[in-house]
Amino acid sequence: MVELLTKLVDFPISIPFRIKCKKIGKSFLIGSGYSIWKCNLNNVIIGNNVQIGSRAWIQTVPLVGQKKPTIEIRDNCSIGRNVVISAAKKIIIGKNCLVSYNVSLLDHNHAFENTNLPPIMQGIDEPKDIEIDEDCFLGAHSFILKGVVLGKHCIVGANSVVASSFPPFSVIAGVPAKKIRDLTESNAV
């Protein structure tokens, strides 16, 4: 009964998001307060059983002359509140990922090289794909920069800034994030 009531309350909240996305799987939930009106979600694909916390800011940023940007969040991901996911090219979050609260993933940056113009007038620099493979855990307040590829079952420490890519089963932390442990498959129970 409680479950049904929760669904009845939660479903209407998700309707504007559902309408704007390309595809949404079964059992999707998103908390209230997400950005919607100025956010382009044309090419956002969400798998089955995905939950996103409140106040999410998810958007694709189409650039002139570039392929349509995409965001894909695959099955069974849980994403905490205040997440920022902004793709000018491609961001993929693999299945079974746990993304904690206040995490940001942006595959582009504000351009700033021209010293005669303030960055706010320089547009966006060259975007680079972000790929988070399955079973990863991104700790609270972590920031994933453009071009980062994390292999399966990577663990990112709280408050980390991830500026480079890491192979599967890496535990990384810090600013910039460095490998602090290697979880090999022999750790599988």
Ligand X SMILES: CC(C)(COP(=O)(O)OP(=O)(O)OC[C@H]1O[C@@H](n2cnc3c(N)ncnc32)[C@H](O)[C@@H]1OP(=O)(O)O)[C@@H](O)C(=O)NCCC(=O)NCCS
User: Using CB under 6 A as the criterion, which residues of the chain lie in contact with ligand X when the complex forms?
Assistant: 100, 139-140, 155, 157-160, 171, 173-174, 180-181
Choose among 106, 113, 111: nearest CA to 124: 111
**Residue closest to ligand X when measured from CB atoms:** 157
H or E element that contains 178: strand 178-182
Q: Residue 37 CB, nearest distance to ligand X (Å)?
A: 29
Comparing CB distances to ligand X, the nearer of 127 and 157 is 157
Q: How far is the CB of 186 from ligand X (least distance, A)?
A: 16
Cβ proximity to ligand X, 117 vs 175, nearer residue: 175
Nearer to ligand X, 86 or 100 (CB): 100
Q: Please, what is the minimum distance in Å from the beta carbon of residue 178 to ligand X?
A: 9
Chain-centre distance for alpha carbon 165: 16
129: number of CA atoms within 13 Å, CB side?
A: 12
First-last CA distance in the chain: 36
Q: How far is the CB of 142 from ligand X (least distance, A)?
A: 7
Which of 147, 127, 129, 134 has its CA nearest to residue 95? 134
